[in-house]
Amino acid sequence: MKVLVTGAAGFIGSHAAERLQLEGYEVTGIDNFSDYYDVSLKELNAKALAKAGIEVKKIDLRSPEEFKALPEDFEFIVHFAAQPGISSASTFELYLTNNVIATQNLLNFAHRNRKLRHFINISTSSVYGLEATFPETVPPRPASWYGVTKLAGEQLVLAESRSGKIKASSLRLFSVYGPRERPEKLYTRLIACGIKGEAFPVFEGSEKHLRSFTYVGDIVEGILQAVKKHELLDGEIINLGAEEEYKTGEGIHLVEELLGKKIALEAVPKRAGDQHRTLANIQKAKKLLGYRPATSLKEGLQHQINWYKENFL
């Protein structure tokens, strides 16, 4: 069965593409290789996918013309591609075009795939707002351009399901970490600072933020089960994440323990729209997908440290 994975050269998308290929799916990846962060890191991921037999095509979903480079016989589309995170360097236009316009263009393409069985949208806990501890039935209250536009993209996808045009669902991911995590994200940057002996910038007050840190392998397992059990999921929204929560400060101390060294911290101004707490309510995922995240934070961080040392030292 043929699967299209968008954002396949990114952090979670690359892991999902590999896992699906390993399970016997025929995966095609696409990515626009944006310069939001060092493009060489995405190229490193793309090389790993190439070794697994997965081609990653350079396609920008914001440009409808570029879809002509793709076949129209996909049975599944797994949509990761987005303008990620909360960044003062990202304009509203970037969030709007990458998270909303691009999603609509992809849906237009999805209609041309007559064999399409299911469209899986990858969403985020940021749609819930400053606190993300709720079941999927709670109305979202996003507090950032990222959260607002990801919610808009999610609703575009689900509107297609509600109208009966395609079968689709949306997975809301919680605080994902692990190998290939983006360089500006908490743990990759923290590990880099610890190894290099540099000060780690901490957003004011963020040490007390609570996070449902979820290892990327556990997230990917949930996505795989969503593909396998797609017939149960039309129109559904499902949270994927870990049920344990940690203060960011606890995560910092755990990295220090694993590296065997103290990391200097440098306070920087807080970010507007940054979530205070995420704790994944995964009862629905357990029921529909048999979802059981099993990787401890310590185990997952050790994997991430090993990955960093293997690739950047």
Among 36, 37, 95, 146, the active-site one is: 146
| HEC string for 267-294 | EECCCCCCCCEECCCCHHHHHHHCCCCC
What contacts 188, CB < 8 A, 6 or more positions away? Answer: 181, 182, 304, 308
- 1 token code pair: 């069965």
CA–CA dist 224, 240 (Å, integer): 12
Task: Give the side-chain half-sphere CA count within 13 A for 305.
Answer: 20
User: Has 146 been annotated as catalytic?
Assistant: yes
Whole-number Å distance between alpha carbons of 18 and 24: 10
Backbone angles phi, psi at 53, to 5 degrees: 85, 20
**DSSP helix/strand/coil, 66:** helix
Residues annotated catalytic, as ranges? 146
